[in-house]
Amino acid sequence: MRIDELLRGGTTHSFEFMPPKSDEESRVLERTMTDLEPLHPSFVSVTYRGGRESRQRTFDLVTQIQRGSRLTAMAHLICVGHSRAEMRDILKNYLDAGVLNVMALGGDIPEDPNLVASEFVHAMDLVELARETGDFSIGVAAHPLGHPRSTDLASDRFYLARKLSVADFAVTQFFFLVEEWSHLVEELGALGVSKPVLPGIMPVTTLGGIERMTSMGSRVPQELVARLVAADGRGGPQSVRAEGIKAAVELCEQLLDRGAPGLHFYTLNRSTATREIYAALSR
């Protein structure tokens, strides 16, 4: 199904996977999808880091999911390293495979300068090409605190609003305070945008995860850090994990109370934390 239609039908819950790089990672991902399938996700998305090999792994996984009719799949696409003609072919291949949902992203600039060449300047260019190429349901990325490469928050919101004038919905980077999502939606509303903004969810389950998530552009609030440190003092890593799951459940409940159109879980190809959060929300 088309994700824009699913969003019009009510609250969604969705999961994000990464294409496997090895046979062992493939087995782990297959177990994860099997574990999560009984939760009847509205859709799943598959990331793409760039490069021909990664592109093929994403295409293979998305089309495998789509052919199996197990789940509705969304393919990630990035601007970096692509010509318009090449990207048009990729989009047409997805259409031929029956994949109608795509996430149009700018993409991280690779360390190898030989891979930077691109005929796209911004993600907006890719959104427009996808719209021209076929009847896709198109998602874009949103950053509650602003994209790391944005010069200021006002311009970040302006360009996000431009993307959403053509795209159908947005999915946020993960965050930890409900106010960050609320402010994002309010600021887009002030710019005349009312399309759905799905909050991205990723629990902090280790003390080491605090630094990693901060390096990925998501601010871990001090009150959450204090909760996790206190949990570590009470019972070590297992208590930290339990407290992180509890905090994620609280965030999800607050988001749904404020009218979030759904919840999008970053799984890192593992199912346990996502299933625990989902089970707590279902009670």
Kindly write down the DSSP assignment for every residue of 76-127, as one continuous string.
Answer: EEESTT--HHHHHHHHHHHHHTT--EEEEE--PPPSSGGG---S-SSHHHHH
Number of domains in the chain: 1
pLDDT at 110: 53
SS3 37: helix
Q: How far is residue 86's CA from residue 159's CA, in Å, rounded to a whole number?
A: 25
pLDDT single digits (tens) 148-187: 888 899 999 999 999 999 999 999 999 999 999 999 999 9
Over the stretch 69-104, which tens digit does the pLDDT of each residue have? 678 999 999 887 788 999 999 999 999 999 999 999
> What pLDDT score was predicted for residue 251?
98
Residue length, the chain?
283
List the catalytic residues: 16
How do residues 230-247 score in pLDDT, each as one tens digit? 999 999 999 999 999 999
CATH number at residue 258: 3.20.20.220
Q: Which residues pair with 14 in a beta bridge?
A: 43, 264
pLDDT recorded at residue 54: 75
Percent above pLDDT 70 for the chain: 94
CA 68 – CA 260 distance, rounded (Å): 30
Strands (E), the chain: 12-17, 43-46, 73-78, 101-105, 137-142, 169-174, 197-201, 262-266
Question: ∠41-12-211 over CA atoms, to 5°?
Answer: 85
pTM: 0.93
- Tokens at residue 21, please? 């790089």
Residue numbers of the domain that contains 277? 3-282
Which pLDDT band holds residue 42 (cuts at 50, 70, 90)? Answer: very high
